[in-house]
Structure formats: C-alpha cells, structure tokens
Structure 1
Amino acid sequence: MIWYTESINEIVRTFDSDIDQGLTAEAITRSGAQYGINQLPKEKQSSALLILLEQINNPIIYILLIAAVLTAFLADPADSIVIFAVVIINTLIGYYQENKAEAAMRALKDLTSPTARTIRHGTQMTLPSTELVCGDIVLVESGTKIPADIRLIDAQDLVIDESMLTGESLHVRKRPDAPVADGAALGDRLNMLYSGTVVQRGRGRGIVVAVGVQSELGKITKTIVEAEDAISPLQLRLARFGKKLSISIGIAIGVMFLAGWLQGNSLLQMFLTSVGLAVSAIPEGLPVSVTVALSIGVYSMAKKNAIIRKLAAVETLGSTTVICTDKTGTLTENAMTVTRIVAGSRHYEVSGLGYDRRGSITSAGAPIDTLDPHSALGRTLCIGALCTESRLEFSGDDGVLIGDPTEGALLASAAKGGCHAATLQKSTPVLAVRPFESELQYMAVTVRDGERTLLFIKGSIERILNMCDSMQTEPGVQALDRRTIERDAETLSAQALRVIAFAWKEIPEGQDIFDDSLYQSCTFSGLQGMYDPPREEAREAIAECKRAGIKVIMITGDHRHTAKAIAEQLKLDDEQIDVLTGADLDAMSDKRLRALSDMTEVYARVSPMHKLRIVHELQRRKHIVTMTGDGVNDAPALKAANIGVAMGAGTDVAKEASSMVVLDNNFASIAAAVRYGRVIFENLRHIILFILSTSFGGVLTLTASILAGMPLPLLPAQLLWINLVTDGISTFPLAYEKEHGNLMHRPPRPVNAGLVPKDMMFTIVFAGIIMMLGTLGVYQWALNTYGYTGLTPDLQGFPLEKARTMAFVTLALFQIWNVHNSRSLHSSIFEIGPFANKPLLIVMFVSLTLQVMAIHLPGLNDLLRVSPLSLQEWIICIGTSMSIVLLIELRKFLARRWAPAGAAIKA
C-alpha cells in the first residue's frame, strides 16, 4: 500500500485502529506480530579475533612469519624476535583502525526518538518509541523528533526539518489533505512525517504506517548494514604486489637452493643461506612504512580541515576520477541570501552573504544612503522584517538564525536597508499573525502604524498578484501593471532565485486577520529574490579538479532549475549542463543510467536510494568515486563509495559511514585532499622504489655469491639490521617529500595501474646491480687482502669476518645514499634540493651513527658478528657506496634527455 496516496479511512481500517481511540490491546499485539517492531536493524559485528586475523591476511605478512619460524628453528632468536615485532606492530595498527567500524549503527540509533506520545484504547500516554506499532495514533509538537513514519490526520501550522533525510535546507510545511502523486519524492510528500525528522513548529496528529526496518530511516539503515566497504586502489595494488613478490621470492630461493646443493654444499648450509635470502628479499619495513606514510598524510590533511578515518582513504583520494557532491553547504554557503529586489519599478542589488548585516543595497551601482520606510523599497523591506515567525540574533554584524531560512534571508536584507526587526516591532507592533499555509501560499500580519492598522502580506507571486489592484511606485500608488511584475519575477526565477512577493493594505481597526475578504484590493510593493549562493572557493576547486581529469557531479534534493543554475555558475561543465531528476532515474534502466552517467553533471530531486544507485553505476563504469554528504540520506552512498566524505556539520551517521570528514564543509578542502592523496601516492612509490632497490641489491649480492662459489657474504642478522634498522628508518622521511611539479595537472591514475611501472623497475634493477657489484667487489678485495684461502670459517674466522664486515658496511652505506636517489624517479636531487627534506637529513645522520655503532660498539658487534674497521677500510666502503648517487643521477639525466618531445617527466 502506498501510504501517501491512500485515504486516512482506508489506512485506519487496514490497521484496525481508531482516529480518536487508537489501538486496542488486541490490535497492538496483532500489529506487532504482522508489521514488526520499531527498532532499527543491527549490523553483524566481527569478533576481535576475526579482526586481528584479517590484519595478517596478507602475502607479505605470511612470508615474514615463515621467515621468523625458520630462523627460530636455527637457534637464532634475535632475528625471529625482530620479525615478529614488525608483524605485531603492523597488526595492532590495523586492528585499531578496523575496530571503530561499528560506530555508524550506534549513531543511527541515536537519531530515533526515545519516547512518543500516543493514544491507545482512548487514553493519551507517553511510551518508548521502540514500543510503537503500525496503527498507533501519535501526537507531535514543536521540538518532537518523529518516532516512526506517520500519515498525517490533522495539523496546525506544522513545519518539519527534513534536511537530514532529504538533503533540502528549506523546512517543509505539512498538511494532511495535500494531494500527492504516486511516485512523488520524499520531499514532496506533504501529508507524511518521517522517522528521524524534527518538528520545527506547530502540532499534528497522525497514524503510524511504517516502523523499524520498514520506515525510510530503517531502509537506509538496512542499506548500510548490507553494504560492503569498497576496496581501495592501494589495497588492490598491495595485494597484487604481495602475490608477485611471493612468487618471485619462492622462485629465487628455489633456484639458489638447488644451485648451491648441486655445487656440493650441505643441506644445512643451503638452508641457512635460503633463510638469509628470504630475510634479504622480503621488504620487512614496507607494511610499517606504508602505514607511516599514510599517517603523515592524515596529519598533514588534518591541518587543512580534512580528518581521515581510514588510512587507505588517503591514497584512494589520489585515484579519484569522480566526485559526487551535495549542493547545500558544500558547493554553496548553506545560507539563503537575498540578492535582488524589485520595488517601485526599480531594480536593486543586495550584497553580502547569509544572515549577517554586512552588505548594502544599491541601484545601478549607486548605494541607497537613506531609506524612506513608506517608499516601495522601504515598505517591501519592512514587510519582510515584520511578517515573520523567525528572528535573527546579532553579535556585532554576525547574525544567527532562529527559525526558517527564507525568513532569515528577508530579515537580513531588511537589516542591510536599515529596517531592523527589533526596532520596527517597537514602533510598528504586530497585532495578529496568520501563519503561512501551503494551500494559501501566503502569510500575513496586522501592525499598528501610528493611528492606522495595516495588513502586511508576503507569499507566492501568483497569490499576491491575485490580491492586488494597485502597485506602489516612486511617484505614488498607481494601477497594477501585472504583466511587468510577472516579467520581473520571471527574470529573477531565470537566475535560480526563489521569488517572494509583498503587498499591504490599510484595514479597519479590529478586523479579523483570518477574514478572507480582507485579501483583496491590496497594494503590491515589491519582489525579493533569494538563493543559497555558491562558495567562491568552490569555483576554483572545481576548475582544479577538471584540470586534474576529475569529473564533479552535483547530487541534490533541490529542484532541477535551481540545481542547474548553481551548476552553471560553478562551471561544472564548460559546455552544456545535463540534468537528470529522481523521476528520470526511476523511469530508466541501470544500463541506460550507466550510459548517461559520464555525460551527466547534475542529479536533482533524488532520494537516498537514487544516490546509492548513481554511485554503483559510476563504479561499474570503472570510476573511483568520492561521495560527499552530511545527512542521514547520504550514509548508504558514503559507505558504498570508494571514498565517503562527510561534512563536519553533518550527522554522526554520515561521519561514521565515511572515510573522511571535512571540518569546514568546504568543497575546496576536498580538492586539497585529492592533491594530498596524489602526493602521498607518489611518496609511497618513492618508498617502494627505495625498499625494493635495496632489497634487490641484497638478493643479487647473495645469489651472485652462491653462484660464484663464494662464502656467504652476509649473515641473516646482518641483513635484518640493514633492512629494518638502516633502510627501515630511512623510508619514513620519504613520506615527508614535497610535491614535485603540479600533480593536479595530470589525469588520475588508472585503478589497475601497478605500484611499480616499467621505468621504476628498471631503476630498481639498475640500483640492485650497482649494489651487488660494489658490495661483492669490496668483499672479494677483503678476502684477497686478508688472506682467505677457502678453508672453513672455523680455521679462517678473522679474514672471513673482516670481509663480511666490509661487505656489511658497504651494502648499508649503499642503501643510506640510495634514499636520496629515491626522492624522485626522474628529477635530479640537485633540482629538487639536496637539503630540502630536513627529516631525511636527520635520519641519514642517525643511520650512519647506528652503522658506526654496529661496527665499533662492543656487544653489538658481537651480536652481529662483525669486527671494527680501520680508517682506510671505511674510506674504501664509503667511496664505493657513493658511486650509486653518481650512476643514478646519470641514468636520470639520460632518461630526461632521451624522453620524446613533449612527454611529461613525472616525479
């Protein structure tokens, strides 16, 4: 049954209820059993153990755990402890993030009303809202949070704030007898009250028609419960990378193990070597480095009013191809503002935004210095200031609205003209009020003006003109020129302005304001046009997004013409703005919507399910979708999108369903976050470049030494020291690297783009070969110099230990210098500034200090099985390792020189 089209009598019969007496005890039991209870559905929660296990469900972590177990069996607990520590740290960080995922449902439940006033078996009572059933007769009044979906029976000046459900900033006046068409949008169902919305003023009575999961709020909750979080591009890339790395390491270890065994080495020796290769090949610092890089991005973005709730969202922002954004408060100021006035046949411009007194009224560029309250302009402003049930409270020039946004805009425009409501109400007191009613389309007050009683009226242009036979002009009152006024109103409407008309009339003292005969032969005074203006900074942010290859789509509950006009002002598209409405979406198939999604910039008059459908169809077009929102209605789409961005002034539901919260409600902050996301991904690539090139250098060094029949040049403990302590801490400063070039002038990365492109892989291999040749060259020199004869290490321990020490130092220094090379894949370190990254310089100093301590500090050098080096030996190691800087700089120079003409060299 469609509740908003059925008659009240039919609905009452359906639920076996009574308008005056309510439900009987038997009917309550039957209704609860048949239609359910008034509770929101609960999301299935993951156990703490399952969340922990999910954190280690990663190929890289698997390899680390295997390596830790193997080293433990070799009675080398130091290596195992360090590897296990890395796994535990990474797991705990992920657990902390994932453990907060259940908060969205708790926030949704907080929106439901805790109690409800109802009539049962003839008695009015208050009971918990969870006990309501379909058929209950419910009473609501100002301040009431609607406890369930209700069909109105009767109402007195009932105005509802539905913004949290529909996204529309304007309050809605409800009326029981309003005709509603089948398929009407939520915001157009004037005879319905919806769970979670709030009564702004008035009172009403209605019958409950939907509870719990069947209510509109319940449907949204159910959608959130069933929705799966989108997988981030970073998760996809790391998963692919982990699988490839696992296969590569397995093959390398197998080849090396077989080659060594065929050469006559013992199984125990080859087992030890395999463990060493595994430790060298696995980038132990990668999970922690990625987490740290993302965390640094979170900190940087927080300073720009963007709070990240899920770490992977930082990088995903950089892959965004479409931003779906709400209009009100994100692209616009979220404050109705009068910008045009037509009075006395003159046109006026009003400056300033929102409800502040800052601004002025001008005509043809000339300011209005003095205002005659009896002129057409003065009368129009005074009517707007007095014919109201709202008020503005000022602190200096800053106004805070208490009441309806439309009335707030009229109060602000009057204040800019010098007609302050508080002052007017003393000199021209209001005697009686006829509240606005949707069916009448006007509001009226009577006021005392000296010895006269005046009737002030505001309302729709059609209704006000039908009341008038004269108009106020500069020379005085003259016959009504209806055509001119309608033309002026059309001009304002074409600018996406909401038009309010004003009229007045002198009436006999004591005349009843509800006497309909009063509303004729009135004098028309003027028009005011208002709208929610677009943010200035949003225009620039949208232009930047377009340069970056990101499509911006406006999804709003507002009307088609209003949304299109705002989109044109914001220049969402340089050519034509295409608009689809919720009704259009209902009439088209998913396939048709998918085809139109790339060509549509604006979706107007949409419902929560429409928003979710739009996001899904964009994702089926392989888009990475960032969805912004602030209301309950946005929560399903926020969760389904690759990135959900909630507004700081939005509901807890929206925030908890999102990946990011923008504190200043500003679209420009979202564009800035996208830029940060791109910078962070570039830095992640720099980190991966550094880690893989150093790990590959270790792999080549060990593999080449085995194939060449050399003794193992590095022990597992030494490799772990290099990988986790030396190059491990060196990765963190790469996350602080500034943007090289303008990343917002590049198109988004394809979602299937790998973490390691071809030119980056070449650099990794090239750097690895340099490290291998340099390390083994120093190692062989030391073996020859100190007389290693090929006997067992027990007989020739000193020369082998000295050679291993020099190989250990050389490889460590290679990696310390290589961190500078990794700051950019193509740009010279001299171009980007060798001293620009201060944290990197500090960490390099710390790494060098730790390396010196590892060689010369008693106890530590015993643990690592190394011996002190002389100055000459240090010079040899340093000189050899510094070659990597010169050779990588040469590669970058040749790559830039040989790049095709016009090709962009990326950072």
Structure 2
Amino acid sequence: MWNGLNNEEVETNRKKYGTNSITNVKSKGFLKLLLESLGDPIIKILLIALAIKVVFLFQDSNYFETLGILIAIFLASFISTISEYGSEAAFRRLQEESSKILVKVLRNGKVIEIPLEDVVKNDIVVLQSGDRIPADGYLLKGELRVDESSLNGETKEAKKYPPINVNNLQDSHKLYRGSVVYSGEAYMLVCEVGDKTLYGALAKEVAESAPTSPLKLRLQGLAKFISRIGYCGAALVTISYLFSVIVIDNNFDPNLIMNTLTDFRVMMDHLIYALTLSVTIIVVAVPEGLPMMITLVLSSNMKRMLKSNVLVRRLVGIETAGSINVLLTDKTGTLTKGKLEVNEIISADNIHYKNTKMLKQNKKYYEEIYHSLYYNNDSKRNELGEVFGGNGTDRACLKFIEEDKSINRRIIDKVPFDSKEKYSSTTLDNNITYIKGAIEKLLPNINYYLNRYGEEKILLNRKSLSNIADGLTKKGIRVLALCYTKNNKSLENLVFVGLVAIKDELREEAKEGVNLIRSAGINMIMITGDAKETASSIAKEVGLLDKEDLVLTSEELSKLSDEEIKKIAGNLKVVARALPTDKSRLVKILEEMDLVVGMTGDGVNDAPALKKANVGFAMGSGTEVAKEAADIVILDDNILSISKAILYGRTIFKSIRKFIIYQLTVNMCALILSIIGPFIGINTPITIIQMLWLNMIMDTFSGLAFSFEPALKSYMYEPPKPKSEPIINSYMIGEVLFTGLYSALICILFLKLPIIREFIRVGEDYKYLMTAYFALFIFIGIFNAFNARSERINILANLRKNKVFIAIILFIISVQIYLIYHGGDLFRTYGLKASEFFIVLLLASSVFPIDFIRKLFLRRHHLKTGV
C-alpha cells in the first residue's frame, strides 16, 4: 500500500509543478474599466467637444457649458464602471464557492482532507461516489464510473480501471479534472494540476476576444450620424452669422461689404466669433446625456434581472440579448429537469404501474420487480433515505421502489453494466439471476413472461413487447427491460418481468419559455446528445418542432458544407447526438449570416462557443469555466429566465430609443433657433444658467426617468431587430424633425408675434416676456417627454408602470414653477400672473395634439400602404 507524499515532497512538487489553481481571465480593475468606458463612441465625441470648448474657454467665457460636458462624461463613465465592477465582484463571489471543495488525499500514510487548490502533482487522491475529480491522473486501484460530460459533452458514463495505458480521452485508465464519480471507489495518482489539466487547457480558450455587441455597432453609427448633423449645423450657423454681419448689417451695400472684408481686425473678430458659434452648435447637437442614460438603463435593469435569477456579468450583454436572432440551447437541465425519473412500469399484459402502492396489489409480481430494481442496482440509500451513487438510471430506479425490509436477499454475484452488452445482472441467494438492460438486446432470448399475478406464461408474440417499447421511445422515453433466469446466469430462456419507462421530465415552465422565445421571432435550435428519435420527441413536446422543421444528427450535419447549412438554418431545430465542435461551428456559421447568436451551456466544452457567441448564457449549476466565458449567468438553469433576459434586452433598446427621440427633439429645436435666429433678429434667448438647468432636465433627470420604462410582454411579439438596423430609424428621424421644427416655430412666434404681448407683459428689459419664454421652452421639453415614451396615440399607456418617470416629471415641474417665481436675477425669472402662466402652459401643451395628429397620420398611412 502507498503512504502518499510527505510534507517536504508536497512543497517541492508545488514549487516545481505549480498549484492546482486554474488561472481565470484576469479581472479588470476599476481604473481599467473606467478607461475602457471612455471608448464609447458618443463619449469620444463629447471628449472632442470638451477639448474644443477648453481651447475657446477664455474667448466665450462659457464656463458652465464646459463644466456641463465634463460632468456628463464623468457621470456616464463612473456609473458604467461602478455597475460593471460590482457585477464582476458578484460573479467572483459565485466562483469562490468552487474553491471551498475539500479533497481526500493520502499523505504521510494517512487520509486527510485538503482544499482543492492544495492538491499537487504525484498526490494520491481517494475517490468515492459523488466526488468531483480535482486534477488529471491515472487510476492506481479500484474501479469507477464517471461522468465526463462537462469535458466532452458525452452523456454516457465512462468506466475507469487500472492499469496505466495510453494518454487520451478514450483511455479508460485516466481521469480528468471536472469529471464526477458516479459509482465505485478508487485511488488516483495525480499527473497534471492547474492550468496543465485538460480542464485548464480548455479554460484558456475563454480568453479569446468576444464579438462586438450590436449596441456598440449601433452607437458607432449614431455617433457618425450626430457628427454629420453637428458639422452641417455648424457650417450653416457660421454662414448665416457671417452673411448677417457682412451683408445684412451693411444693408447689401457693395462698398461697405468690401470695407468689412478688407478690415483684417474686424474680420478676425467675426471669424473667431463664428468659430465659437460653430463649436456651440456641435456641442448642442451631441446628446451628452446619452452615455449616462445607457449606463443607467443597463444598470437598473441589471438589478431587476438579478431578482429574476439572471446575473449579468457584462452590462452590454443585456441589450445584446434583446437582439438575438438564433438561440442555441441545451436540453438537459434547461428544457428538462436534468434528473431521470421512472414514470411507470409496464407488464407484458399492458398494465401500467405508476407507483409502488399499485405494484403491491399483486405480491408475487411486486417481489420480482423489487428484486430487479433494488438488488440489480449500484445506487444506495443513506440514513436519511437519500439516494446516492450509481448512474442516473440506477438512482431513478431506486427512488421509484420503496425500501421493503420484509424482503431480505443476499447478493451472490454481480455483472456490472457493459455498453457493448447493454445489460447488467445480479444473482441472489434464491439462485435467480435478475437482468436489467436494453429490450432489443434481451428480446430474442425471452421465451416467457410474468403476468400481473406473478404467474409465468409462454410468450407467443415478442412483437407486442417490441411495439410497446417503440411507442415509448418515440415519446422521448428511455426503456429498460426487466427479466430473470434460473438458467445459470445465461441469457437463455429469459422470463420477462416488465418494462421500466424512464424520462427526464420537462421543466414546468419549459413550454412557456420556448413559446415566448419563438413568439419573439427567435429561431431556437436544441443541441443534445440524445438519439434522433428521443430528441425529436422532446422537441415536439416542448413546442419547438413543427412539421416542416429539420432534425439532424451530428453525423448528418458534418456532411453538409457551411453554405448548405446556411440555406437550411431557418428550418433547423434539433441537432441530435451532438458533439462539442457542432456548437462552435454553428455559432460561426450563423454569425457569418449577420445574425445575433445566443448560446446556452454549462460544461467546459461549451466555453469556446459561449465566448464566440454574441451573448453567452451559462447555467448556474455549470462549470466555472463556462460561467467565465458567458456574458450572463442563469442562476436557476431556467429557459424562462432566458426569455426574461431577452425581454429586458428589448426593453433597454426601446428605452434608449425613447430617450434619443426626446433629447434630439430638444437639440433640434435649439439648433433651428441658432441657424434661423440671426436672420430674423433672434439670438438664443436662454441664459447660461438657464441652459445648465435645461441640460440637467435633458441629461440627468430624463435619463433616469426613461431608465425605468417597464418590460412589456408585447415586446416579445415583435421580430428581432437586424444587426444592420441603425439605432435611429426613419420613424425617429421623422418625429425629431417634425416635433423639433414645431417647437422652434412656437418659440419664434412667441417672441415675434405682437398678439402674444397682449396676453403677456413685456416689462423692463423684456424681463416678463423672457420669464415666460424660459417657462415655455422648459414645458415644451417636459410635455414632449410624454410623446417620446410612447409610440401609441394614448401617451398615458403603461405610465403607471414607470412610477420613477411620474415622480421625476412632477419634481421637474415643481422646481420649474419655483424658479419662475423665485429665480430672480440668477435665473432671469421674475414671476408670471396666473393668466400668463396659463397661456404658457396652453402653448406648450399644443405639442400633444400636434403629435397626436402625426401619429394618427402615420397609423392610417401604415394601414393603407403597409409601410
């Protein structure tokens, strides 16, 4: 027998070969995350605008505008960093659970328990049923059945036994980190630890760079779009200003115009001021509140999603989930419970026994079933009655049959299950051998059957048993045949006892989750290691498979070229007998089709595909490597939680669009006033302090208000947005232009129409008129927020579901009223009469009927043309 390593050898091996820790992808520090957030396309524009403003700071003395941009950049970047840093910390806490696993090793002649990370090369590990193998190694003594599915995707248990042989995955003498012992006891010699294990090698693939998210691509497009608007606006303002001071101010006199053009000092003053104006227009055009709003909406939804068992590791993963076109999903544990259960036992005379109570109605028949299930089984019950050890089938059988102390037999001999022979057997002290295995293997040797009364009868029609088994298999049910023989353990003259129907039942919410995801226009493809018939049956049961849809095996898939797969991708619903490489290949092909791909996985073998997918969903019960590769962790392994992630993603995209409409409308109004103003004698009548308050409304408060828009189930009945669709569509451009033009028109008419002065006092230095104008401008913005948040004609739809929006609007209105009457010289506000205030509200509220007419026209146009 072995003594194991001594303390000195442990330290020597640790220094020489390293520890058993897996090097995870290095967590990004707070500073690195903060710097990365500055790479946001909109923030880049703001940084350029900030640099220009700093250059001209002493020329225009607009400290507040410069400070406002700086604050907008800081808040957006800081909040984004805080959220992602906190999310990463939560994930790390989740990972720490794995490091608490204790391992039994032989050291200094004694078996001791040590943390998993303390295992070193050449340690001798003691393995028992239920243990997770801590490192790669070879079996020294004993026999095991292990589950290697987390490494290779194979659901079939692998049998392991000594002595040492070749070094590959089919090697029945080698054990791999991450595998789980189903049954048996053994000693293992550790040959590789940490990153040098197969588990560690697969984990390195997680470090590959993830694809660019649809949101980032759309924001890059938005940045270019806004830049063009800003540059065009700046050029128009510069031209209009220079035309005004050079031509209009000189009454179109050619001589005076030439004098101005030739006066170097005067022209330099005009050019510098024109350049300052153009910079202001560029700054006005940029929605500086957008980065912060996106951060707020992602962060707030991240917290809401955590309550729905969805842990978001990367903020951008939320929005990407809403853009998914195709979802590649596992079956076991996601669509099904992940636990095999015996549904029923069926006798040869087609009696269906749902439980032990029904079986006990016929004592002799019950005893033979008990012998077959209880004794021909590698699983055990502990003192608490919990079933452990053995494989999934054995555990399911033992859970079905209740322990009966009145039946007490002794096992004389046992033949374990063999994948080639497809059966296991146990001989008891009554000299009867009980056999459990595949019906197709045992059927040719069955000559008798046991009826419901426990009487042996001659079997005249083997086909009847085969038909029952085939019918169950087509329903996705695994079938085992129970037989016995009194003929010296051979398979001759078998007596058929019954069929055991075993199934991994669907999760209760699986059908609802699949229905929601499919109704969202998302193509779901189930990838499973099950046989084609079983996979098809489960896909039909869960509502995934229609008549025209395709079911392919891994072998059939491998025979198709990438181009052929692209042609059938829309109808492909199931890949059976799948290999880990099938997932990565499908992700690559689907992304080449410009589709947004979601991928679920739990094993180490899933990690590369999870990383390559646009959004990876790791299961909470999965391996740490899978979770590291994923963008989102589904804590309850529930398909319904994935549908919630998709819904939240779509809600976020909707919220971002609503905010963009709102802010660009205000910016458009200001832009139009700046361009047209010089021609009609209007310089923007908003002071710097007033503009600062306006920016607070537009950026901070409105961003917060739109961040809490409700996740409406109706969003799940819309098709996913194509990757190529810009964040600003034609509908949004139309609304921004229409409402922006109307708002600017109201402002111009308010200042220029003589009739307005009949209802509102002008006052000394226009103080009352300017007070009213400031109120009008702000209330137009407030009321437009209602128009922007709903595409419906009813602007109050679902308003109660966003209480934050209501609270913020009421707060803004309250502060604005206070400023009107108490702002004084600082805000250039000197109060209004009740009648004057009413006129202001009436004019501002005209945006409601105008927008109503616009929506009504578009709705009727859509009904008539379908466009």
The two structures have a TM-score, normalised by structure 1, of 0.79
1:584 is displaced (CA, Å) by 4.8
Instruction: Establish whether residue 218 from structure 1 lines up as the match of residue 200 from structure 2.
Output: yes
2:45–2:223 Cα contact (<8 Å) kept:
no
Superposed displacement of residue 303, structure 1: 4.1
Give 3-state SS (helix, strand or coil) of 2:146's partner. strand
What residue number does 1:791 align with? none
Q: 1:892 aligns with which of 846, 850, 855?
A: 855
**Match of 2:462?**
483
String of CA shifts for 1:88-146, please: whole Å, max 9, x gaps: 121122223444669689949957998796999x9999999889999999775545543
Q: Which of 801, 819, 822 is residue 857 of structure 1 equivalent to?
A: 822
Is the 2:661–2:788 contact (alpha carbons within 8 Å) kept by the matching residues of 1? yes
| 1:675-824 aligned within 5 A | 675-725=647-697, 728-738=700-710, 742-780=714-752, 798-799=764-765, 802-824=768-790
SS of the equivalent of 2:362 reads: coil
1:689-746 CA-to-partner distances (Å, cap 9, x unmatched) read 1111112112212222134342331233322321323664234333444467833333
1:328 aligns with 2:295: no
Q: Does 1:256 align with 2:231?
A: no
Instruction: Please tell me whether residue 878 in structure 1 is matched to residue 857 in structure 2.
Output: no
Say which SS state the counterpart of residue 334 (structure 1) adopts: strand
Q: State the alpha-carbon separation in 1 of the partners of residues 740 and 65 from structure 2.
A: 24
Residue 200 (structure 1) aligns with: 182
Residue 654 (str. 1) matches residue 617 (str. 2): no
Indicate yes or no: 2:395 matched with 1:408: yes
SS of 1:434's partner is: strand
Distance 1:36 1:557, change over 3 A: farther
Distance 1:683 1:576 in 2: 37
**Separation in structure 1 between the aligned mates of residue 359 and residue 816 of structure 2, nearest angstrom:** 77
Deviation, 1:751, is 0.9
Letter in 2 for 1:88: F
Superposition pairs for residues 250-649 of structure 1, below 5 Å? 250-264=231-245, 266=270, 269-270=273-274, 273-274=277-278, 276-348=280-352, 350=354, 360=355, 368=358, 371-375=361-365, 379-391=368-380, 403-414=390-401, 420-421=402-403, 424-431=404-411, 434=414, 436-438=416-418, 441-445=422-426, 455-461=433-439, 464=442, 470-474=448-452, 476-481=455-460, 483-484=462-463, 485-504=465-484, 523-584=495-556, 590-649=562-621
2:218 to 237, 245, 258: 237
* Amino acid paired to 1:722: L
Partner SS for 1:753: coil
Distance in 2, Cα, partners of 1:206 & 1:517:
33
Distance in 1, matches of 2:94 and 2:563, equals 36
* Equivalent position of 1:146 in the other structure: 133
Is the contact made by 2:183 and 2:389 (CA closer than 8 Å) also made in structure 1?
no
Q: Given that residues 730 and 816 in structure 1 are in contact (C-alpha distance below 8 angstroms), is that contact kept between their aligned partners in structure 2?
A: no
Amino acid at match of 2:219: L
Change (3 A) 1:223 1:755: same
Q: How far did 1:62 drift? A: 3.3
1:585-607 per-position Cα deviation (integer Å, ceiling 9, x unaligned):
55665455545544432223334
Is the Cα–Cα contact under 8 Å of residues 68 and 79 in structure 1 kept in the other structure? no
- RMSD between superposed Cα atoms in Å: 4.5
CA distance in 1, matches of 2:730, 2:813: 32
Query: Which stretch shifts more, 293-302 or 271-280?
Result: 271-280
Partner amino acid, structure 2, of 1:224: V
Q: Structure 1 518/495 Cα, relative in aligned 2: closer, same or farther at 3 Å?
A: same
* Equivalent pair of 1:783/1:799 in contact (CA under 8 Å): no
Q: Is the 8 A contact 1:567 1:577 kept in 2?
A: no
- Whether the 8 Å CA contact 1:273–1:712 is kept in 2: the answer is no
Residues 46-67 of structure 1: CA deviation (Å, up to 9, x unaligned): 5654432221123422343455
Deviation digits for residues 801-853 of structure 1 (CA, Å, limit 9, x no counterpart): 5544333221111001111111223x212673776754433322211111123
CA distance, structure 2, for counterparts of residue 177 and residue 855 of structure 1 = 89
Identify which range, 462-471 or 660-669, moves more after superposition: 462-471
Task: Encode CA deviations 1:276-301: one digit per residue, 9 max, x unaligned.
Answer: 43443322222222222233433443
Partner amino acid for 1:56? L
Alignment: residue pair count: 829
> Structure 2: which amino acid aligns with 1:693?
T
Structure 1 unaligned segments of length 5 or more: list them: 1-18, 351-359, 362-366, 415-419, 508-515, 787-795
How far is 1:435 from its partner? 6.1
Using the alignment, how far apart are the partners of 1:783 and 1:803 within structure 2? 13
**Alpha-carbon shift at residue 79 of structure 1 (Å):** 3.8
SS in structure 2 of the partner of residue 425 of structure 1? coil
Determine the C-alpha separation between the residues in 1 that align with 2:412 and 2:136: 34
Q: 1:33 to 1:575 in 2, by over 3 A?
A: farther
Q: CA separation in 2, counterparts of 1:731 and 1:399?
A: 53
Instruction: Provide the identity percentage.
Output: 29
Q: Describe the SS at the equivalent of 1:829.
A: coil
Which deviates the most, 212-221 or 735-744?
735-744
Task: Give the conservation status (yes or no) of the 8 Å contact 2:296–2:703.
Answer: no
Aligned equivalent of 2:264: none
Q: Which has the higher helix share?
A: 2
On the 8 A contact 1:321/1:550 being kept in 2, the answer is yes
Is it true that 1:160 corresponds to 2:138 in the alignment?
no
- Compared CA separation, residues 900 and 322, structure 1 to 2 (3 A): same
Counterparts of 2:724 and 2:561, CA distance in 1: 28
**Post-superposition CA distance 1:875-896 (Å, at most 9, x none):** 3322221111111111111222
Distance 2:180 2:473 in 1: 30
Does structure 2 retain, via aligned residues, the 8 Å contact 1:249–1:281? yes
8 Å CA contact retained: 1:170, 1:406 = no
Q: Deviation at 1:486? A: 4.1
Do the aligned residues in 2 keep the contact of 1:379 with 1:525 (CA within 8 Å)? yes
Distance 1:776 1:497, change over 3 A: same
Q: In structure 2, how many angstroms separate the alpha carbons of the residues matched to 1:218 and 1:85? A: 44
- For the Cα contact (< 8 Å) 2:591–2:597, is it kept in 1? yes
* Secondary structure of the corresponding residue to residue 814 of structure 2: helix
Shift of 1:583: 4.4
Structure 2, gaps ≥5 residues long: 246-268
Q: 1:755 to 1:622 in 2, by over 3 A?
A: same
User: Aligned to 1:742, what secondary structure does the other structure show?
Assistant: helix
The residue aligned with 2:248 is none
**Cα shift at 1:559:** 3.5
Give the Cα separation in 1 of the matches to 2:209 and 2:805. Answer: 39
Q: Give the aligned residue type for 1:461.
A: I
Counterpart contact for 2:351–2:452, Cα < 8 Å: no
Asked whether the equivalents of residues 137 and 207 of structure 1 are also in contact (C-alpha less than 8 Å), the reply is yes
Measure the CA separation in 2 of the matches of 1:384 and 1:245.
71
| TM-score between the two structures when normalised by the length of structure 2 | 0.83
2:81 aligned partner:
95
Q: Which amino acid aligns with 2:377?
A: T
Amino acid at match of 2:481: A
